[in-house]
Each structure stands twice: as structure tokens, then as C-alpha cells.
Amino acid sequence: MSDQLSGVLPVIATPFDEEWEIDAAQLEQEIDWLFANGADGIVVAMVSEILRLNTQERMTLNALAVDFAAGRGPVIASVGAESTKTACEISAHARDVGATAVMVTPPLLAVVSAGQLEEYLGAVIDSCDLPVVLQDASGYVGASIDVDLQASLLRRHGAERLLLKPEAEPLGQRASELRTATRDQARIFDGSGGVALMDTFARGIVGTMPGPDLVWAVRALWTALENGDEARALAISNPLTALISMVPGLDGYVAFEKRMLVAQGVFTSARMRGPVTYAIDPQTESFLDAQLALLRRAVG
């Protein structure tokens, strides 16, 4: 089943209505747009604002994602939580509603020991009988997961059950370290949004999980890399990197992608549940619009 998990797998943004509830109609429109613009599958994860959803809402979002994907590609549901019990409950629910795989972060409020992480991850794997993507989200939140520990976990659970999404800097070097530590067995996903994709692709990743807003550009870049078209890859990567490099942290990423989805007619609102630590000002909006136009021209 893990061989389905490859290519361009964007992380969905969660639209909210005027009552701050999940807007199912706009979510369906977003998922249709993602598949129409080159997504191989979809992911529910950090930039889906899962940290601002309660457990029932996370389950609802996962179920809606599976329903709206309608078999067009794999759906990876993020299930990480502060307690093993909650993570396992969300995992089992994801399996029951038809998710293809789950993605798990370690608890974020405390640094857990290697033994505790093994117990937590093992419980999640046992709870869902699906491939599990271990996300080192330390580029945004939480603590970095040691390379040797990830390699040990992969040896114990197998490369078909455990996949890796390293986001500790520097991304390319971390991917290479994981490949070496696992004797090239690890299936690794890029989590840079596109900034490091040319580097990580050359180091043997199997897929990328960008935000949803620029999926058409990441799709074009991924295809150029697969085709060995370095000139086209560079032409797309440069303006894409200029956009993504402005993102200031997790809230900034969510604000940018929702603003871009509104600009492209996918969402009608860029609402984010608060408290929010970053807001886009008019000057930044102008810059984003100009860079979006440049990226469109580069992709053609």
C-alpha cells in the first residue's frame, strides 16, 4: 500500500465559515481544485490548522477529506496528539473512514524519550494497520527526532509500514543522513513547500507535501525534475522559492496559503482560527500578487 504514497501530495487548508466551523462546501471545492491542478493525493496535517481543532473536528475533517477525494488518490490523515490514547483514537477512526495512511508527529509540548516515542509510535501503528508517516515537524514546532532513532524505528517496523517526513534543517542533508542510516530503505517526503525540492529530489525522496495554494507550480516542478529538465526546473524553482521563503513560521504559512487560495478563487475567505500570531499587511499582499504572476509565467 505504501507504493501509492508518492509524487505531489498537498496538505489541505481548512476553510472556516462565518461561525468558525469547517466549511464543507469550500473544502470540497478546494479538493476538486487540487486534483484538477496535478495533486496525486491529499494530506491533512499541520497547515490544515489541526492544532486549533478539537478531536471530533479532526475526525470530521479526515472523513470529509476521504469523501471528497472520492478515490482519485491517496488520503493521508494526520493523527499526532499529546496523548497516545488520543492519537490511537484518531488513527483508528482514519482507518475506519478509508484513509490510505496516517501521519504522526510526536507529542509537541514535551520532549519524549526514545523509549516513549517507540511506545507511542508502536501504539499508533497497531491501532490502524495502515502505513504511518513519521513527521519531524521541528522546522515549525516540537523537537527534532534523532536520525539514528528514526533509522531504528524504521528497522523495527519496516519500510512498508513506516515512512519519514523530515523537516529539521538543513532538509537536504537530513534526507541524505536518513537514506544512509537506513541503507537507502527509507521512503522520504519533502516538507519544504517547494523551497528545497530540487535539493531533496536529487537525494532520493519519493514525494513532496507542499501547501495547497501553489500545487500547480509544485506539480510542474516535480514533473520537470522527473524528466531531468534542469532548465525548466530552475525557471520554476526560483520564483517559487521567492514566495515560500517569505513565510514566517506556521501561522505565516497558513496565512499565505489561504490568501493565495482566495486570490485564485478557490476560497472566499482567508479566515484563520485565533489567536493568530501573523497577519498579512497591504505591502505583503502586493508582493504576493506580483510574485504569483511571475510564477504563473514561469510555469506557463
Residue 239, in any domain of the structure: no
Closest CA to 60 of 34, 90, 84: 90
Q: Which pLDDT belongs to residue 168?
A: 84
> The CATH number of the domain where 134 resides is what?
3.20.20.70
- Residue 134: beta bridge partners? 104, 164
Other CB atoms within 10 A of residue 176 CB: 17
What is the Cα–Cα distance from 201 to 245, expressed in whole angstroms? 18
Pair type for strands 42-44 and 7-8: unpaired
CA atoms within 13 A on the CB side of 14: 24
Joined grid coordinates for residue 143? 523537537
CB 112 within 8 A of CB 98: no
| CA 120 to chain CA mean position, Å | 21
What does pLDDT average to over the chain?
A: 93
Residue 286, in any domain of the structure: no
Other CB atoms within 10 A of residue 167 CB: 24
Encode pLDDT of 116-153 as tens digits: 988 998 899 888 989 999 998 876 676 788 899 999 99
Residue 192, in any domain of the structure: yes
Cis peptide before 166 (omega within 30 of 0): no
Residue 184, in any domain of the structure: yes
Residue 178 pLDDT grade (very low, low, confident, very high; cuts 50, 70, 90): very high
Q: Which pLDDT belongs to residue 103?
A: 96
Number of domains present in the structure of the chain: 1
Mean pLDDT over 199-222 rounds to 97
User: Given a cut of 80, is residue 4 above it in pLDDT?
Assistant: no
Cis peptide before 170 (omega within 30 of 0): yes
DSSP state of 133: E
Residue 85, in any domain of the structure: yes
Mean pLDDT over 80-84 rounds to 94
Mean pLDDT over 158-180 rounds to 93
Joined grid coordinates for residue 180? 544512509
Residue 87, in any domain of the structure: yes
- Crossing angle, helix 230-244 and helix 215-226, to 10 degrees? 150
Q: What is the CA radius of gyration of the chain?
A: 18
Residue 232 pLDDT grade (very low, low, confident, very high; cuts 50, 70, 90): very high
Q: Which pLDDT belongs to residue 1?
A: 56
Residue 3 pLDDT grade (very low, low, confident, very high; cuts 50, 70, 90): low
Joined grid coordinates for residue 19? 461561525
Residue 118, in any domain of the structure: yes
Question: Residue 124, class by beta-carbon neighbours within 10 Å (0-12 exposed, 13-18 middle, 19+ buried)?
Answer: buried
Report the side by side order of strands in the sheet with 101-104. Answer: 42-44, 75-78, 101-104, 132-136, 162-166
Reduced to 3 states (helix: H, G, I; strand: E, B; else coil), residue 60 is helix
pTM, rounded to two decimals: 0.95
Residue 2 pLDDT grade (very low, low, confident, very high; cuts 50, 70, 90): low
Residue 247 pLDDT grade (very low, low, confident, very high; cuts 50, 70, 90): confident
Q: Domain range for residue 17?
A: 2-228
Residue 56, in any domain of the structure: yes
Q: Which pLDDT belongs to residue 145?
A: 87
